[in-house]
Structure 1
């Protein structure tokens, strides 16, 4: 069994794999949220405040900035000629990258999911645990964008970078997950790498396939 986790789910999957040795043949993480922006200093300063809020009202909604919901950029919506200009490659015209992805609206909270102290504290505590080092006993694949840029709104760079997490910090912290970690970075990748432009997606799935064949599917688990 190979477990895949993305973003916050990547952090959750890593912690789960650490707590359940001998279960997985591989762990594939795409843009896992292994570290917050600002790294250790931000976590050290922020956790006491969030812990206090979580103790008082764990489900309260925290303010998330001043950006208008109408200005939030969703790469899954597809290409906008007026804003984005001409497609870099006309052959992409019928690709979901251009036409938009068919997502279940019930599973997509817009403009974003509420940020609550109890949830955020769990994330910060999980990231602190990763920073201390985990002992995942199966091969781990870390896939992340080659660039990060904090931006909820549209910018030309938002089409080619991770605008949600610090991908460099995720790659740096991934070496603390276990003894066999493969790190891959993708130029032009967005936060959800599988929603990137077609050539990037092709490299992502090709990398995943090669890793599965080399490590997860052809390597006997030490505890099996």
Structure 2
């Protein structure tokens, strides 16, 4: 079956059914993809679940066999989920077993009871699903090293998780990680104080702010992009911003600014330039329209002692969804970095 013959994301279920504990079932991404639900009971939003996806094509273990070099755990960004088949298949052909985590209240982990998609009031709460996912990877591949990969907010989450819990991770790949609030601590500090005050009375309170569909337009094949994305899991406008969520993100940015002292090799991939505007423009197909890449690269040096920076001309916010030739350059640089890691 070709990708063109796969069911479009708009025809996927709005909410995926949960799986029995420990059971892999076919994923809507199509042949070779499976998912299982990680059930942690409930929280204030309703069912508290995360979802682990793996790429397991026919004969996958035999094909990799003794040639397998490692395992990848990938984490998406804010208001997002895992959908990039090309990324999974790159890692597989490179000799890595690929897994992706849809965090609680995101993507495959959304449930109809969730009134605030994406809501989280403390980033350390996500240790629950990160630890559980790592445990599954280590049980399924006990002899192989693990590489973590995160995009945008997922890059922030993984960096802080590794700093906080010291999991057995060999390397960290960060795709346009969200390491600072729109590029400056001068805004972060006062806004964080305001969000902290609001959170004390009502952390679920929505923060009124202008919302734009620029990134969705640059991404979706229903607009100017190239990607078939789920209309609820990667909506036109991002999930609602709440005081509690924004406060915990800004606290994470402050931790990065103080320095994390990570000792593992880290690869940072970003677009060469950012472009912000109140209206969509074609320029957003070739620049980062979400984060300030210059400040991100500066903050990246606060992560640890072994940081490699890749600056990609013509890349979008998610460098692995960019148009060619920027996407090919991103995969080239990741491949070069992995050759160093595999030594």
| 1:41 counterpart = 2:186 | yes
**In the comparison of the two structures, how many residue pairs are matched?**
198
TM-superposed deviation, 1:38 = 4.7
* Superposed counterparts of 1:44-55, under 5 Å: 44-55=189-200
Give ranges in structure 1 of 5+ residues lacking alignment.
Answer: 85-96, 219-224
Give ranges in structure 2 of 5+ residues lacking alignment.
Answer: 1-145
Partners of 2:197 and 2:265 in 1: how far apart? 37
Which residue is 2:242 aligned to?
116
Partners of 2:221 and 2:232 in 1: how far apart? 19
| 1:103 counterpart = 2:229 | yes
**Residues 115/135 of structure 1: CA separation in 2 closer, same or farther (3 Å cut):** same
**Residues 137/72 of structure 1: CA separation in 2 closer, same or farther (3 Å cut):** closer
**Which of 197, 201, 208 lines up with 2:323 in the alignment?**
197
| 1:159 counterpart = 2:285 | yes
TM-superposed deviation, 1:152 = 5.8
Which residue is 2:337 aligned to?
211
| 1:7 counterpart = 2:152 | yes
TM-superposed deviation, 1:103 = 2.1
**Of Structure 1 and Structure 2, which has the larger fraction of its residues in helix?**
1
TM-superposed deviation, 1:60 = 1.6
TM-score normalised by L of structure 1: 0.82
**Residues 104/22 of structure 1: CA separation in 2 closer, same or farther (3 Å cut):** same
| 1:25 counterpart = 2:151 | no
| 1:60 counterpart = 2:205 | yes
Partners of 1:17 and 1:78 in 2: how far apart? 35
Which residue is 1:149 aligned to?
275
Which residue is 1:92 aligned to?
none
Which one scores higher on RCO, CA 8 angstroms, separation ≥ 6?
A: 1
Alignment partner of 1:60: what SS? coil
Which residue is 1:183 aligned to?
309
Which residue is 1:222 aligned to?
none
TM-superposed deviation, 1:113 = 0.8
Alignment partner of 1:182: what SS? strand
**Residues 59/203 of structure 1: CA separation in 2 closer, same or farther (3 Å cut):** same
**Residues 192/104 of structure 1: CA separation in 2 closer, same or farther (3 Å cut):** same
**Residues 2/110 of structure 1: CA separation in 2 closer, same or farther (3 Å cut):** same
TM-score normalised by L of structure 2: 0.54
The 8 Å contact of residues 149 and 163 in structure 1, kept in 2 or not, is answered as: yes
Deviation by residue 1:125-154 (Cα, 9 ceiling, x = unmatched): 000000000021210001111111123631
**Residues 160/19 of structure 1: CA separation in 2 closer, same or farther (3 Å cut):** same
Which residue is 2:217 aligned to?
74
**Residues 66/118 of structure 1: CA separation in 2 closer, same or farther (3 Å cut):** closer
**Of Structure 1 and Structure 2, which has the larger fraction of its residues in strand?**
2
Alignment partner of 1:64: what SS? coil
The 8 Å contact of residues 32 and 170 in structure 1, kept in 2 or not, is answered as: yes
Which residue is 2:259 aligned to?
133
